[in-house]
Structure 1
């Protein structure tokens, strides 16, 4: 069950949902409008290797914006940090941003119950597009779990203590002999 605007606001007020910073004006009918952070990592290896740490350069998104170009993989971050021990979260891009040819966070949209993060964003563009720090970039919906719920803080492995932009940690799972 997806929470409505009124339920999201009530859950933030009661402490069942944490959104930092929170602005009630960004609560829509069934979601919270999240914003692009002010840093982007550009994955710089011409071939990304699942068994190796991804190299990147980190760039600040200045107030005058940053032009993203096709063919690059960008890892961004949400301005907001979210957490809930009561609800799972699903993050999506925004229709208006999508209409600019920006694909954001097409994999791993689930934030488990108890996952406290600023979301790492996978960003790709169809054409060159200028983005700005803290521009509206997507929506987060909150979903009530059914059945027994266990906090990600108790069972999660990767990205549990994420506080910034995370590159893939798949290299921890890939066995050297499997390559």
Structure 2
């Protein structure tokens, strides 16, 4: 089941959902409207799953930044979220989609216990200017079925994520943890 906006607010008040910073005006009927963070990484050159990704940092200032087709940008959510009780599902919204922005190429699921600023994989159909802290999508919270298993307790590779993260698949390919 998906939580309603009122249920998200109640779970936030009860400490079952953390959204930092939390703004009750960003609640919608079945989600929380999240914002784009203040830094983008543009992936440089050819990508290789067996090697760390080279990036160029792009701080987003008040005048914004024009995203270009053919470039993979990594960004993050302005809000940090966590819940030991609920799983999370991150999506773009209609306003962003109709600008030709794909917010999340993959990995829309936030596991129980994952305390993160979400890393976004951003692509665009046409050049489009974006701004820091602009509304960029919706975050839904889902009831889970079965015994809870916290992401943090499993020590998975992105458990300590603090912001924009490049792929760390190379760790797995070198025999590290998944």
Return the TM-score normalized by structure 1: 0.96
Partner of 2:8: 8
The structural deviation recorded for 1:140 is 0.4
Partner of 2:63: 64
Determine the C-alpha separation between the residues in 2 that align with 1:156 and 1:149. Answer: 15
Q: Do structure 1's residue 118 and structure 2's residue 91 form an aligned pair?
A: no
Determine the C-alpha separation between the residues in 1 that align with 2:43 and 2:73. Answer: 6
The structural deviation recorded for 1:106 is 2.3
- Give deviations 1:91-130, integer Å, cap 9, x for gaps: 0011100000000112000000000000000000000000
Determine the C-alpha separation between the residues in 2 that align with 1:31 and 1:169. Answer: 29
Partner of 1:38: 38
Q: Choose 148-157 or 77-86, whichever is displaced more.
A: 148-157
Q: Do structure 1's residue 154 and structure 2's residue 144 form an aligned pair?
A: no
Moved over 2 A (4+): none
The number of residue pairs the alignment matches comes to 175
Structure 2's unaligned 5+ residue stretches are none
Partner of 2:29: 29
The structural deviation recorded for 1:175 is 4.3
The structural deviation recorded for 1:167 is 0.1
Partner of 1:130: 129
Determine the C-alpha separation between the residues in 2 that align with 1:117 and 1:150. Answer: 17
Determine the C-alpha separation between the residues in 2 that align with 1:138 and 1:5. Answer: 15
